[in-house]
Structure 1
Amino acid sequence: MTIMLCYEGRLSLYCFLGGMASLLLFYGAEAFLHEESIWTKVALSVGYYISLNVIIRIRYNPRDYQIAVRAAFLGTVLSAGIVVFLYAQDQYKSFGIYATLMALFHYTEYLGIAICNPKTLSPDSFILNHSIHYALAAAASWIEYFVEVHYFPVMKTYKSVWIAGMLLCLAGESLRKVAMITASKNFSHIITMANPVCFVIYAIASWKFFHDRILMEEITLLNFFGEEYIQYQERVPSGLPYISGFRVEP
């Protein structure tokens, strides 16, 4: 099957790769300029990112700029995550993995919709401005991470936790993208840091979300299918812990 990428998808891909090029600059400084200072490399990479944003602002119209600047930002974050993982002290390496996976997730959300359902594509498809709740959850995880790095740095050095978290994230991301491809035009719209407090809070929030959503969905299904759906409920469990959905009392 030939994949035809729309203009917006191609634009995002070019700018995402342009942002990732900061990683090449980071290593190129040592290979060609014989510059080994980490801070000089960081300064060069930051200068490159600023220059890239200036070029994007001049080159593209306001609509395309909104796509290009987001894609370039995510490419840069992915590169920065790789650098943190490779160069930072052990207690910070998991944050590098987190940044890399987050950038990859947000960009592939946009790219996936560009491939599967380009008619619904917009800058919001990056889901960077997902919701206030998403932003608060992310901010809480960052605060917890750096507080624990300061007071309990050993907590962040267990490589088995990094690997388990990374594999879980990659598995979840793979399932989501397969779902996007499977749904095709019908589709529309974090463990790696080893944050125990946010892990529990996120688990509770996720349970509450699915509990309420399944309850509402099952009321709708019961109204539509009637007795047939009641029989289906008796045969098939929800598959989620302590969530039974809406039940009709005999």
Structure 2
Amino acid sequence: MLGFVVLLGLLNSEHSLGIYFTVLAFFHFSEFLVTGLTNPQNLSFDSYMVNHSVAYAVAAVSSWIEHGLLLYFVPSLKQHTIISMAGLAVCIVGEIVRKLAMFHAGRNFNHLVQDRKAEDHVLVTSGVYSLCRHPSYVGWFLWTLGTQIILINPICLLAYTYVTHMFFKFRIEVEEQNLLYFFGQDYRKYQSEVGTGIPFIAGYTLVRKSS
């Protein structure tokens, strides 16, 4: 089905909606593919991430509605092909960053935040992880915003920026709380040397109570 959507998108790539659906379907298929290549023991239907959450589905449908309404009432807005191409470039960069993170982390990468340390779980700080602590989230963040630039959806672009930023802020804090528990001082040192990669998100800081 995802391959069929990519094909339909490519056949209609002269329209921003065609580019969007190509990017959307490719993202979900590549999530499954890269998981299968790097972390096969965790491979499942959920690896496609098509059933990520209700909020994700609502966000996607909202963007389609905005695109349709603007196409009907302000069709001239959708004629700026250069904007859609810029959005495509952002999505490509986001895809590359996220997949580099998945490949480099290998079996240490998981789509779900882990609250228990696996025996073979190690702290990855090299490669793309030497540039930012959460490259997979940076890539996903860029890809998410890029989809709305492709569609030239100003309202959803602003809404996606806010909602996605808040989502990753919460997720990073929860994940880093667990990572500090798993790796202790090693992760504190890593935090002090490398940023999260997403502006205005500092991550989780262990607060010590004064005696």
User: Would the TM-score normalized by the shorter structure come out above 0.5?
Assistant: yes
CA offset at residue 219 of structure 1? Answer: 4.5
Residue matched to 2:110: 188
Q: Distance in 2 between matches of 1:227 and 1:188?
A: 22
Aligned CA-pair RMSD: 2.6
Q: Which runs of 5+ in 2 are unaligned?
A: 112-146
Moved more, 198-207 or 227-236: 227-236
Q: Displacement of 1:230 after TM fit?
A: 6.7
Identity of aligned residues (%): 41
Distance apart, 1:94 and its partner CA:
0.4
Output the CA distance in 1 between the equivalents of 2:89 and 2:173.
31
Q: Report the residue type matching 2:166 in the other structure.
A: K
Question: Structure 2 counterpart of 1:78, which letter?
Answer: V
Structure 2 residue corresponding to 1:215, chosen from 173, 198, 206: 173
Quick one: structure 1 residues 237 and 188, their matched pair in 2 at CA, closer, same or farther if it must change by over 3 Å? closer
**What CA deviation, in whole Å up to 9, does each residue of 1:116-154 have, x standing for no partner?**
122222222211111111111100000000000000111
Q: Per-residue deviation at 1:85? A: 2.0
The TM-score, its normalising length taken from structure 1, stands at 0.60
1:126 to 27, 34, 48: 48
What is the match of residue 155 of structure 2? 197
- Over residues 176-235 of structure 1, what are the superposed CA-to-partner deviations in whole Å (9 max), with x where a residue is unaligned? 111121122222222311111111111111221222233334555666777887777666
Q: 1:157 to 1:236 in 2, by over 3 A?
A: same
Structure with bigger gyration radius: 1
Following superposition of structure 1 onto structure 2, how do residues 59-138 of structure 1 map, counting pairs within 5 Å?
A: 73-86=1-14, 93-138=15-60
Residues 97, 186 of structure 1: alpha-carbon distance in 2 compared, 3 angstrom cutoff = same
Q: Which residue pairs with 1:241 in the alignment?
A: 199
Q: Which runs of 4+ in 1 moved over 4 A?
A: 217-239
Q: Secondary structure at the match of 1:242?
A: coil
The separation in 2 between residues aligned to 1:81 and 1:107, in whole angstroms, is: 14
- Indicate which of 50, 65, 72 corresponds to 1:143: 65
**Aligned partner letter, 2:50:** L
The superposition leaves residues 56-110 of structure 1 with CA deviations (integer Å, 9 ceiling, x where unpaired) of: xxxxxxxxxxxxxxxxx11111111112224xxxxxx000100111111111111
- Correspondence list, 1:155-170, <5 A: 155-170=77-92
139 and 246 in structure 1: CA distance in 2 versus 1, 3 angstrom threshold: same
Larger displacement relative to structure 2 (117-126 or 171-180): 117-126
Aligned residue type for 1:181: F
Normalization by structure 2: what TM-score?
A: 0.70
2:100 corresponds, among 161, 178, 181, to 178
How many pairs does the alignment contain? 172
Cα distance in structure 1, aligned partners of 2:199 and 2:176: 16
SS of 2:12 mapped into structure 1: helix
